[in-house]
Amino acid sequence: MIDIRFLRENPDVVRENIKKKFQDSKLPLVDEVIALDEELRASKKKADDLRANRNKVSKSIGALMGQKKFEEAEEAKKLVSRQADELAALEAKEAELNEKVQKIMMTIPNIIDPTVPIGKDDSENVEVERYGEPVVPDFEIPYHTEIMERFNGIDLDSARRVAGNGFYYLMGDIARLHSAVISYARDFMIDRGFTYCVPPFMIRSGVVTGVMSFAEMDAMMYKIEGEDLYLIGTSEHSMIGKFIDQIIPEASLPQTLTSYSPCFRKEKGAHGIEERGVYRIHQFEKQEMIVVCKPEDSAAWFDKLWQNTVDLFRTLDIPVRTLECCSGDLADLKVKSIDVEAWSPRQKKYFEVGSCSNLGDAQARRLKIRYKAQDGKPTLAHTLNNTVVAPPRMLIAFLENNLNDDGSVNIPEALRPYMGGKEKLVPTV
């Protein structure tokens, strides 16, 4: 969410940004919110003037009573009563106008970074760099669920009976591999100086609307019936929420945290064959990283965050590439975003396994996350997040890139301590 003062002083910049995001339907909102903001400020001034006058009249009542000017004192009391009614009406109007302004401001997209490529959707994202050599072996690679089934490692039929489509049972070595990847990712980030955290898996609506747009909320979040609680779609939500309404000591910045959590998502819409199995599901686990920092440091942290994911995947012998998300593919709160995609030898293309985002001060403004700057004034922090690893989707890339002709799967050296020293998984079917 951008600053209303910025919009007030730079309406053309905001309009141009809306156009760059191909959201022209939102252009009328700029003039609408400017008019509402003007009305709100006028109402506030009138209320402030009325309060000052009422206080002055109230103070005079005692003096009038002391001078035995009872009739004048009585008239003053009536005036204070009328002003109290008028003030109550103004305060109700202020609340209504403020709610309208906030609702519009939360739908106007954040100002994107000047380096973001302009494009309508993810088809116009720009490849930045490749890491590792993408290889297509001379033997056929089965669909990922078929690979897992050779190890008796997945049961989708039972999951459908228990919970419906979009759920799974992972079993045996595949389940162990899943947990090993999460544990390895945790230690990988701890070794890079991040503090490990296990956050709440449910958050209140005030946090939800603080960390994401209304459109994302509707598409992703599961609400707990009868409670002001939502299941998290990613631990970033509760991790950023940790700092809600806080003034962080400047010496404590940056806050660098890595978190484990299950994640729950509606995943609305029809899905193609490549999104069956465990690619697009309602429940999964993830290791995440977030940073809360000073504005001048957020660009450097952005590059560090996505590089962490690239480095982790390369230690597991998985080729990856980075994609710069274009303007039309950025969620409304994001300033800049880079996706990390892993190589799929079976599909002979890359697919998304993580996303790194700089939110600027958008989340901090909504959640009042501040730090005390050198001038002593509370200043909005910047927030960033990035996926470390999200199995079981990441397992697709792992299994395909480490599969052998005989159906066995190599365990990279970095992961062996988490797999009981095993160097290879051997099919049981």
pLDDT, tens digit, 9 for 90 and up, residues 368-380: 999 988 788 899 9
Burial (CB count within 10 angstroms: exposed 0-12, middle 13-18, buried 19+), residue 314: middle
Residue 116 within any structural domain of the chain: no
Residue 368 within any structural domain of the chain: yes
pLDDT tens column, 7-45: 999 999 999 999 999 999 999 999 999 999 999 999 999
What average pLDDT does this structure show over 162-183?
A: 94
Same domain for 95 and 166, yes or no, is no
pLDDT tens column, 322-335: 999 999 999 999 99
Same domain for 226 and 336, yes or no, is yes
Q: Report the candidate in 210, 280, 265 with the shortest Cα–Cα distance to residue 234.
A: 265
Residue 110 within any structural domain of the chain: no
Same domain for 100 and 239, yes or no, is no
* 3-state SS assignment for residue 263: strand
Same domain for 29 and 98, yes or no, is yes
User: How much is the pLDDT for 272?
Assistant: 52
Residue 360 within any structural domain of the chain: yes
pLDDT higher than 90, residue 53: no
Same domain for 366 and 250, yes or no, is yes
Domain finish residue from 105, 132, 159: 105
What average pLDDT does this structure show over 81-90?
A: 83
Taking the C-alpha atoms of residue 234 and residue 251, their distance in angstroms, rounded to an integer, is 28
Count of structural domains, the chain: 2
Same domain for 99 and 38, yes or no, is yes
Domain finish residue from 78, 105, 132: 105
User: How much is the pLDDT for 85?
Assistant: 81
Q: What is the CA radius of gyration of the chain?
A: 27
Confidence band (pLDDT; 50, 70, 90) for 177? very high
Residue 114 within any structural domain of the chain: no
Taking the C-alpha atoms of residue 133 and residue 53, their distance in angstroms, rounded to an integer, is 76
Average pLDDT, the chain: 92
Taking the C-alpha atoms of residue 18 and residue 330, their distance in angstroms, rounded to an integer, is 12
Residue-by-residue DSSP string for 160-212:
HHHT-TT--EE-HHHHHHHHHHHHHHHHHHHHTTPEEE---SEE-HHHHHHHS
pLDDT higher than 80, residue 353: yes
Same domain for 86 and 158, yes or no, is no
User: How much is the pLDDT for 268?
Assistant: 58
Taking the C-alpha atoms of residue 248 and residue 83, their distance in angstroms, rounded to an integer, is 41
Percent of the chain at pLDDT > 90 equals: 78
Q: What are phi and psi of 299, to 5 degrees?
A: -65, -40
Residue 113 within any structural domain of the chain: no
CATH label of the domain that carries residue 59: 1.10.287.40
* Cα 130 to Cα 190, 284, 312, 314, 398, distances in angstroms: 25, 27, 14, 11, 17
Tokens of 32: 């609408």
Residue 115 within any structural domain of the chain: no
pLDDT higher than 80, residue 213: no
pLDDT higher than 90, residue 49: no
Same domain for 89 and 148, yes or no, is no
Rounded to 5°, angle at Cα 290 from 285 and 291: 175
Q: Report the candidate in 169, 414, 406 with the shortest Cα–Cα distance to residue 425.
A: 406
User: How much is the pLDDT for 270?
Assistant: 44
CATH label of the domain that carries residue 412: 3.30.930.10
Tokens of 266: 């509606």
User: How much is the pLDDT for 61?
Assistant: 76
pLDDT tens column, 93-116: 999 999 999 999 999 999 999 999
Percent of the chain at pLDDT > 70 equals: 97
Residue 344 within any structural domain of the chain: yes
pLDDT higher than 60, residue 273: no
Higher pLDDT, 216 or 141: 141
User: Lowest-pLDDT range, 48-62, 89-103, 210-224, 341-355?
Assistant: 48-62
Give the global pTM.
0.89
Same domain for 93 and 183, yes or no, is no
Domain finish residue from 42, 72, 105: 105
Asked if residues 232 and 202 have their Cβ atoms less than 8 Å apart, the reply is: yes
Higher pLDDT, 51 or 34: 34
Taking the C-alpha atoms of residue 222 and residue 264, their distance in angstroms, rounded to an integer, is 7
The sign of the CA dihedral 396, 400, 402, 403 is positive
Same domain for 99 and 203, yes or no, is no
Same domain for 100 and 157, yes or no, is no
- Give the structural domain span for 370: 122-425
Same domain for 38 and 9, yes or no, is yes
pLDDT higher than 80, residue 269: no
pLDDT higher than 60, residue 367: yes
User: How much is the pLDDT for 73?
Assistant: 74
